[in-house]
Amino acid sequence: MAIFDEENNRLTIKLVYYGPAQSGKTTNLMRLHDILCTDLKGEIMLMETANDRTLFFDLLPLGFKAPSGLLIKFKLYTVPGQVIHDSTRKAVLSRADGVVFVADSQRTQSTNNGEAFANLEDNAARVGIDFEQLPLVVQFNKRDLTDILSEDEVLQRWESAPWPVLFSSALDGGGVVETFLALLNQVYDCLDREFEFQNRHSLSREAFVNQASGQTDRQA
């Protein structure tokens, strides 16, 4: 759940990149840090160990001000991919306002993708998140590699799923911003119902997405 600080007129939104080990979660955040031109952008924080690059989490802070003066801050996290760090996954996922599930496109990783997605659903329930209502985007990453599932194969496997499915090559930035924008579009609906972005803060969906990503002129 987004945290509203009334005294400082600040809203903090938590977005989580979830997926199996080495699927490209950290690389997504690194490319976003390179590409996005939002009003406020902090340095990406990487928590590394010898066994897993993200033992605790990676964090990328972003933000902008709405026309009403409301400061909207985003905190983008990754979760550790290794199963042994499941308690950390739950801690990072807790109170998430939206999730990008980063899958590995390699054919050899299909089982790992399925297990990680099931783990996401299970952990969401454990931390009190309504999975059916959670803004969620599925990203199939590593499209630059060989021996990967074709887009048709992926879309066929996920055709009954209610979530957007996108494709990316996070190493070169392809599809990374598009995935972020797809998630922002879903997140807006949930937050608008709670915080009345359109009516109280003169912040349309288009302005929310544009200002959060710095993609176009900032127009309310």
What's the CA gap between 32 and 41, in Å, rounded? 10
What's the CA gap between 137 and 33, in Å, rounded? 19
Give pLDDT tens digits for 15-27: 999 999 999 999 9
Please state, in angstroms and as integers, the Cα–Cα distance from residue 212 to each residue in 63, 97, 132, 159, 205, following that order: 6, 15, 25, 29, 11
- Backbone φ and ψ of 92, nearest 5°: -70, -40
The tokens describing 104, both together, are 């590995």
Within 13 Å of residue 63, how many CA atoms lie on the same side as its CB? 16
Residue 97: pLDDT above 60? yes
pLDDT at 49: 56
Domain ranges for the chain, please list them: 3-144+163-213
Give pLDDT tens digits for 69-85: 999 999 999 998 777 67
Residue 218: pLDDT above 60? no
Residue 158: pLDDT above 50? yes
DSSP class of residue 45? E
- Name the pLDDT band for 57 (thresholds 50, 70, 90): low
Q: Which residue has the tokens 């579009």?
A: 185
pLDDT at 201: 96
Residues 99, 15 contacting (CB under 8 angstroms) = yes
Give pLDDT tens digits for 171-208: 999 999 999 999 999 999 999 999 999 999 999 999 99
Q: What angle do CA 165, 166, 168 make, to 5 degrees?
A: 150
- Name the pLDDT band for 217 (thresholds 50, 70, 90): very low
What's the CA gap between 3 and 149, in Å, rounded? 39
pLDDT at 168: 98
Residues 67, 101 contacting (CB under 8 angstroms) = no
Instruction: List 138's β-bridge partners, or say none.
Output: 101, 165
Could you list the beta-strand ranges (E) of 71-149: 71-78, 98-104, 136-141
Query: What is the arithmetic mean of pLDDT over 58-63?
Result: 83
From the list 74, 76, 77, the residue with the least C-alpha distance to 188 is 74
CATH fold of the domain at 3-144+163-213: Rossmann fold (3.40.50)
Give pLDDT tens digits for 136-153: 999 999 999 999 999 999
Could you list the beta-strand ranges (E) of the chain: 3-5, 10-18, 40-41, 45-46, 58-65, 71-78, 98-104, 136-141, 165-167
